[in-house]
Structure formats: C-alpha cells, structure tokens
Amino acid sequence: MRLLRFIIALSCIAAGVIVGALNPQPVSMDFGFVTLRAALGVSLLVALLAGAVAGGLMLAASVVVPLRRQLRRERARQPTAPATPQPGDS
C-alpha cells in the first residue's frame, strides 16, 4: 500500500512539473485590493489545489462531521453491558 501511495504521489508531482514547464506564460490576477503575477502553470496548480482543499472541507462539513455526531449520540445512548461471568470463572 505504501508503494502505491508513493507511486501516486510521484506521478502527481511529475504531472505538476510538466504542467508548470509547458505553461510558462505570465498571468496577472486582480483581486481588487492586490494584483498577483505568476506563471500560468503555477496559477493552474494553485487553483487545482485550492479546489481540492475546498472540496475536502465541504465533504467533511457536510458528511463526516454529522456522521461522527450521530455515532457519538448512538454510543452515548447504548448502556454499557455488565461483564458476564465466563464458564470456569469462580
């Protein structure tokens, strides 16, 4: 499993380097209060990363947190069962 993760990470880094190398054109982004200048490849990679992070946060907020809250309620609702004596215990 570690090898698979390593291969995926390496391929993502290679894809990022290729995108950055093939898109060296300068672009400027105006946010109203600040203007940023960067290469097009870097801008694309930053936008992709920001989208992935935003999607992960939305998934966590809409699915993971409510499921954890529900699991916590269910565990609190269940009474703990008393220990039952095993055969052979005196």
Q: What is the pLDDT of residues 46-80, one digit of tens each?
A: 898 999 999 999 998 999 888 999 999 988 888 76
Q: What is the pLDDT of residue 89?
A: 62
Contact 50, 29 (CB under 8 A): no
Around Cβ 29, how many Cβ atoms within 10 Å?
Answer: 12
Sequential DSSP letters for 25-90: -EEEEE-SS-EEEEEHHHHHHHHHHHHHHHHHHHHIIIIIHHHHHHHHHHHHHSPPPPPPPPTT--
In a domain, 12, yes or no: no
Q: What is the pLDDT of residue 81?
A: 62
In a domain, 2, yes or no: no
Q: Number of folded domains in the chain?
A: 1
CA pair distance 27, 73, nearest whole angstrom? 51
In a domain, 10, yes or no: no
Reduced to 3 states, what is the DSSP secondary structure of residue 10?
A: helix
Domain that holds residue 55: 17-75
